[in-house]
Amino acid sequence: MDRRTFLKTGAGVAAIGATGGISAPALSQGAAARTLRFVPQANLANFDPIWGTQYVVRNASVMVWDTLYGVNAQLEPQRQMVEGEEVSSDGKTWTFKLRENLFWHDGERVLAKDCVASLERWMVRDGMGQMIRDLKDELVAVDDRSFRLRLKSPFPKMLLALGKNNTPMAFMMPERLAKTDPFQQISEFVGSGPMRFARNEWVPGAKAIFTKFDRYVPRQEAPSWLAGGKQVNFDRIEWTIMPDPATAAAALQNNEVDWYETPLPDLVPQLRRNRNIRVDIADPLGNIGSFRFNHLHAPFNDVRARRAVAMALNQQDYMQAVVGDDPSLWSALPGFFTPGTPLYTEAGGDILKGPRNIDAAKRLLAESGYNGQPITVLVAQDQAPLKAMGEVTNALLSSIGMRVDFVATDWGTVGQRRAMKTPPGQGGWHVFHTWHAGADCTNPSSYLALRTTGDRAWFGWPSDEAVENARAKWFDAPNLDAEKAAVAEMNAAAMNHVTYLPTGFFKTYQAWRSNVSGVVGGPIPFFWGVTKS
C-alpha cells in the first residue's frame, strides 16, 4: 500500500462518516486495463473533421469515422471500408463496392448513398477533393453497397485522395449528416468507426470520451496506420485535456494518465529517468518549420530579397531553438518534402547548404532595392516553436541589415492578420512562421504551402508557373520514377523562386506508461493494437 492509498483509506473512513457513505466508485483492475487515459496534443474544441481541420479533430475522428481507404506506414492507400474497386480502361470511371457488415453507431447499415453524400461534402473542403469535383461528371449510388464516380478525365491519385491522412480526410458519415453545409458544423456524431463518441460526457477543454462500438468488424489484415484491422482493445478511451505540459508530464509519472502525445523536449530527460515510462519519437514523418514570406509587398516581392534571407538562414539555429540540443530530434532540410519518404529530394537546395554568407546576403539585399523599411514579423508567443523561430528570425534579419518590427502576439491574431493583403504598414505583414506536418509534405497533393497560384495561393500569395507546372506533372505521373522526377523539378523551382523557406525538419516525442504496449509512431496516435496490462 503506498502512502496515497493509505491516506485515502484513512480519509475514506472519515468521508463515509461525513457524507453518509458517499464515496468514489472504485474501478477494478480489469476495468482499469480496459480504459486508456490519454493526453492529446490540444483541446478537442469541436468535432466535425470536415468543418474544422485541426489535427486534434482529425486524430479523434479516426476513431469514430471510418474511411473508404487508408494509408499504411509506407504511405500506400489500402482498402478500408471498401471491399473492392473497379476502374474503367480509360481511367475515367471508378466503381466502389463497400464491405459487408458495416454499421453506423445508431445501428443503421452503411449504404452507398451515405458515402456519396460524404464525398460530396468532403470535396468542397479538400484540395484533392476539389480537383476530383472539377473533373466529376457523376457520383451516384448504384445499389446499397456500390457507388460510381465518373470523371471527365482520369485522376490517377484517386485512391490516395480517398485514403490520405491529411486534413480534411475523406470520412464517411450517414447521409443526413453529410448533407450538412460543409461550412457549418454537424449536429450529431454518428460514425461507423471502432469507437463511439460519448457526447454526453464531452466537456470541451477538459475531456472527451470514446466508448467501444461492439458492431464494428475490423478488417483481417494487421493494422498499419490507417489501414488494416482497427482492433481497439479498450472499452473506453478517455482524453484528458491538459494545457500545461509540466502538469501532463507529472500526471504521467504519477500514473494518473497512460499516454501523453506531445511531451516537451525539455521534460523528456526527466521522463526517461522514470523506469515506468517509455519515450519514443511520436511521428517519424516529423514537421517542417516554415519561414513564410509575403510575396505581395516590398522587399519580398523581389526574389533577390528572399534569396538574401535564404543565403543567411542557418537551420541549425532554428532547430536548436525549437527542440533544444537533442540531435535525434532535428535535421537540416535543404528541400521542401519530408525526409525519409520516397519523393524526398534536395534538388535546387544548395542555397540552404554549407557555410552561411552574411556579406553576400547583404549585397544581394541591397541589389533588391531594400531601403531600410521596417520588416513586420508576426510571432505567435503562445506556440513555443513559433516563438522560438520568431526570435531567431529577428536576429537573422538584423544580421543582414534589416530593420525588424517584431509583432509579439498570439496565434489567433496571426491567423487573422496573415490573411490580410494590405501593405505591412496598414495591418499587413512581411513574415510569419508556422510548421507543416511532415505527413502533409510527402507529396504535392495536399501541400498547400507550396502552391504558387498567386491570389489563390496560401498566405503569402506566391506566384510562379514553373512550380505549378511541375506539380501538374506529378498528378499525371504514371509511376514512381516519373513522380520523383516531377517532384525534383518542383522542389528546384520552388527553391529558385523561394516560395517559402524551410527552417529545418524536427520531430517530437511521445511518452507512455510501461504497462501500455503496441504504441506506434505515426502522424496520428493510433489506438488500435494498443493494450494495457
Q: Which residues bind other proteins (CB under 8 A)?
A: 2-4, 7-8, 11-12, 14-15, 18-19, 22-25, 43, 45-46, 51-55, 125, 127, 166-167, 181, 183-185, 187, 203-207, 240-244, 246-248, 250-251, 253-254, 256, 382, 409-413, 415-419, 434, 436, 440, 446, 448, 456, 458-459
Write down the least CB distance from residue 448 to other proteins, Å: 6
- Does the CA dihedral 482-484-485-489 come out positive or negative? positive
Full DSSP string of 83-140:
EEEEE-TTS-EEEEEEPSS-B-TTSPBP-HHHHHHHHHHHHHH-HHHHHHHHHEEEEE
Of residues 86 and 410, the one with the C-beta less far from other proteins: 410
Write down the least CB distance from residue 163 to other proteins, Å: 17
Of residues 218 and 427, the one with the C-beta less far from other proteins: 427
- Name the one residue in this structure whose C-alpha cell is 522587399: 299
Least Cα distance to 377 among 401, 392, 394, 361 occurs for 394
Of residues 268 and 488, the one with the C-beta less far from other proteins: 268
Contact 489, 250 (CB under 8 A): no
Of residues 20 and 355, the one with the C-beta less far from other proteins: 20
Contact 163, 69 (CB under 8 A): yes
Least Cα distance to 218 among 207, 232, 205, 204 occurs for 232
Write down the least CB distance from residue 365 to other proteins, Å: 29
CA distance 402 to 351: 20
What backbone torsions phi and psi does residue 460 show, to the nearest 5 degrees? 110, -25
Write down the least CB distance from residue 240 to other proteins, Å: 7
Write down the least CB distance from residue 379 to other proteins, Å: 14
Of residues 19 and 533, the one with the C-beta less far from other proteins: 19
Write down the least CB distance from residue 286 to other proteins, Å: 16
Of residues 162 and 241, the one with the C-beta less far from other proteins: 241
Strand order across the beta sheet in which 374-380 lies: 330-331, 501-506, 287-293, 431-437, 374-380, 403-409
Of residues 110 and 449, the one with the C-beta less far from other proteins: 449
Write down the least CB distance from residue 432 to other proteins, Å: 11
CA distance 31 to 26: 10
Regarding beta strands 136-141 and 93-98, do their DSSP bridges make them parallel or antiparallel, or are they unpaired? unpaired
CA distance 523 to 424: 35
How many other CB atoms sit within 10 Å of the CB of residue 106? 11
Write down the least CB distance from residue 184 to other proteins, Å: 6
Write down the least CB distance from residue 183 to other proteins, Å: 4
Of residues 181 and 359, the one with the C-beta less far from other proteins: 181
Full DSSP string of 363-378:
HHHHHTT--S-EEEEE
* CA angle in degrees (0–180, nearest 5) for 252-211-21: 70
Of residues 84 and 204, the one with the C-beta less far from other proteins: 204
